[in-house]
């Protein structure tokens, strides 16, 4: 049995509007460990999508701003939502933080893609590369 920190479940009430990513990012992109082909097969409701973040400099107390950048069918950027999480000792020790995001946030008809990235607040904020996920029905 693995001793890993529990995943935080993210719903609409956890999100705040945010600004678009301004730089390409250098930190490791988040991963969706249980998705095949980087595709969310939309089921709606309370079904969850697991997202994990890991980077070498993880330390307890660092603030992570997780971003969900929704992309319209024409490829233009739509809503950018964010939530903030402060890394715990257990997450820093494991070098991994995990979230489960409710599928109720996704709308494959309007937004067939979501780019997920994070910003680490340190002395100087650092941005990750994006995890680009397709959203399909």
- Please, what are the domains in the chain? 8-136 (2.60.40.10)
Residues 6+ apart with CB under 8 A from 8: 85, 98, 99, 100
The pLDDT-based confidence of 1 (bands split at 50, 70, 90) is very low
68-117: pLDDT as tens digits: 999 999 999 998 888 889 999 999 999 999 988 888 888 888 899 999 99
Between the two ends of the chain, the Cα-to-Cα distance in Å is 34
User: Helix H segments across 12-119?
Assistant: 89-94
67-79: pLDDT as tens digits: 999 999 999 999 8
Instruction: Tell me the C-alpha distance between 105 and 88, whole Å.
Output: 26
């Amino acid at each position: 049995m693995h001793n890993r920190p529990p995943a935080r479940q993210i719903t609409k009430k956890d999100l705040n509007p945010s600004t678009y990513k301004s730089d390409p990012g250098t930190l490791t992109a988040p991963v969706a460990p249980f998705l095949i082909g980087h595709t969310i097969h939309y089921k709606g409701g309370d079904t969850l999508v697991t997202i994990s973040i890991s980077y070498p400099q993880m330390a307890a107390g660092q603030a992570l701003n997780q971003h969900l950048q929704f992309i319209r069918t024409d490829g233009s950027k739509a809503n950018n939502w964010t939530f903030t999480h402060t890394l715990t000792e257990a997450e820093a020790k494991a070098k991994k933080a995990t979230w489960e995001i409710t599928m109720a946030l996704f709308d494959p008809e309007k937004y067939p893609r979501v780019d997920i990235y994070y910003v680490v607040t340190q002395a100087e904020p650092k941005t990750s590369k994006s995890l680009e996920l397709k959203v399909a029905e």
